[in-house]
Amino acid sequence: MFNLYSKASLPTAYGDFTIYTFSNDEKKDHAVLVRGEVKGKEGVPLRIHSECLTGDVFSSLRCDCHDQLVQSLKYLASVDFGILIYLRQEGRGIGLLNKIKAYSLQEEGYDTVEANVALGLPIDQRDYSFVINVLNYFEIKSVKLMSNNPTKFDYLKEKGVNVIERIPVLSEPRPEDKFYLETKKVRLGHKI
């Protein structure tokens, strides 16, 4: 079951949005920020952003998540319409506790992929099915995906979503996240 649960205006430091929540079969409350009128539109800019407490909230320099979220919000605020889907799946789906365990291993020299494997966890456990439900709800005809992650492209295309363009969401590497970004590029195929 996928139905609108609530919506409200959400003025932000970057621009005005409408925030939507939906009832769904998952036990997580995902958020959907909509800029302008998207119903039935073609070429809708779309950012699929997975929760990163350390980056999004605490502005951690270990990853580029905060930078990507801010860039995406600024971009969406600069266009007439678009969507940001904020998925509550911390640490590529492994949860906050395991993410911090992985951080500890990274401090011993493991990369982000090796750390997950050493903990007996999947490299990436995220589920994007909620995204398809949102796109169907708004009757989106095609999207411009704001992402560096080829897995998101492949998933959307596999599900029949017309991805007409990729909008890169890049940040300057810092000493604290350079190894992490290089790992995402080399091991996970990100377009960085």
Residues labelled catalytic: 124, 126
Cβ atoms of 64 and 181 closer than 8 Å: yes
Q: What does the buried/exposed string (b/e) look like for 92-121 if buried means 16 or more CB atoms within 10 Å of the residue's CB?
A: bbbeeebbebbbebbeeebbbbbbbeebeb
**The two structure tokens encoding residue 21:** 């929540």
Find the distance separating the first CA and the last CA of the chain, reported in whole Å: 37
CA distances in angstroms from 17 to 20, 34, 82, 137, 184, listed in the order given: 10, 5, 9, 17, 30
